[in-house]
Amino acid sequence: MTAPVDPAAAAKGAAKGATGALRVRVRRGDGVQDYAVPRRANQTVLDVVTEIQREQDPTLAYRFACRVGMCGSCGMTVNGRPRWTCRTRVAAVAPDGDLLLEPLRNLPVVKDLAVDMEPFFEKWRRAHGYFEPGENPPDDFVAVPPDSPERQEVDAGIECINCGVCYSACDLVSWNPDYLGPAALNRAWTLVNDVRDRGQAARLDAVAGDAGCHSCHSHMSCTEHCPKALSPTFAIAGLKRETGKAALRRFWRRG
Amino acid sequence: MSPLLYLAQRGTAAILALTVLVHLGTILYAVRGGLTAGEILGRTQGNVGVLLFYAVFVLAAAIHAPIGLRSVLREWTGWRGRSLDLAMIGLSALLAGLGLRAALAVYWA
């Protein structure tokens, strides 16, 4: 399937400073559809998708919101790598002008480039990726020194905005669909280091086992692709240590 | 993988790193020195140190390999559940049995 460049649209593009055309292939269901999009200075991949949807093919489905790298909703696979399309310049990833756009890997496709994030968020819940205040709230605020080791560990992973890029990059999720994934485990690690949290034993149980941190092969694809430059791999290594210590403590008590 | 299996696999990996090196070094030493099979058996026979070393080597391998193979099979074949765990326990017993038998054979030879 090929959608030829509309001469009127191309002329309009030229008037706006377009320089040549990009060959854009978009995975739509089982097939790949070709588009030609005018190339522009400082164009992002999200600009390209939006131009296709608005000027050439209104049936193309994709997702975005903020356009400035804050919301994490425009994640797609660009030339084989998961990325935020709003923060990816075409010139940086397609110097030859060829773009292959696919939905994020490891998530069910709703339509075209839009994926269903529900399994991703469900795994956050399964990893106890939420704050547990305990039965009795403390009488006073807890003082957390910014330079304490626990707070430093939290700081290293707290900026995650749940975009799903690491989840899409993770081979383990492809091989083991039950695997909780880097984002959920990274979130769990920030909470393990939250001195106010009262749900640590249950959380460490939740992130251990065949679906949990010990299945990680430390390929570091999550760390390589995280648009926020976080390192879920190190968070997972921390969980391996803490779950290991907890298991040994239980083992000695039983024995 | 449970945390205890994970720790067991990492712990035995550390043991194997050392024992494999010693094992390979011993082979190279024996071959370079031109020892015959009879001379090698003469040195291993009744040597408690050799027996203990290879017993540790074999038991570490018997713990390490099935845990890793279990992960590989889970990820690449989709084989899961109790049948896989039982098969890996069987493999561990087989490796331990055959390995200890070999170690005892050169001790008693």
Given phi > 0 = left and psi -120 to 50 = alpha, else beta, which region is A196?
alpha
**Mean pLDDT value of segment A168-195:** 96
Given phi > 0 = left and psi -120 to 50 = alpha, else beta, which region is A42?
left
pLDDT tens column, B24-80: 998 898 888 788 888 888 888 999 999 999 999 999 999 999 999 999 999 999 899
Is B5 close to A214, i.e. CB distance below 8 A?
A: yes
Minimal CA separation from B5 to chain A, in Å: 9
Is A210 close to B1, i.e. CB distance below 8 A?
A: yes
The percentage of residues in chain A with a pLDDT greater than 70, rounded to a whole number, is 92
Residue B16 has pLDDT above 70, yes or no: yes
Q: Which of A68-72, A126-130, A141-145, B35-39 has the lowest mean pLDDT?
A: B35-39
Q: Is the dihedral of CA A89, A93, A95, A100 positive or negative?
A: negative
Identify residues of A whose CB sits under 8 angstroms from chain B CBs.
Answer: 172, 175-176, 208-210, 214-215, 240, 243-244, 246-248, 251
Of B3, B75, B76, Cβ closest to residue A214: B3
The dihedrals phi and psi of A84, each to the nearest 5 degrees, come to -80, 120
Helix (H, G, I), strand (E, B) or coil at A112: coil
Helix (H, G, I), strand (E, B) or coil at A220: coil
Instruction: Give the pLDDT of residue A3.
Output: 45
Residue A13 has pLDDT above 50, yes or no: no
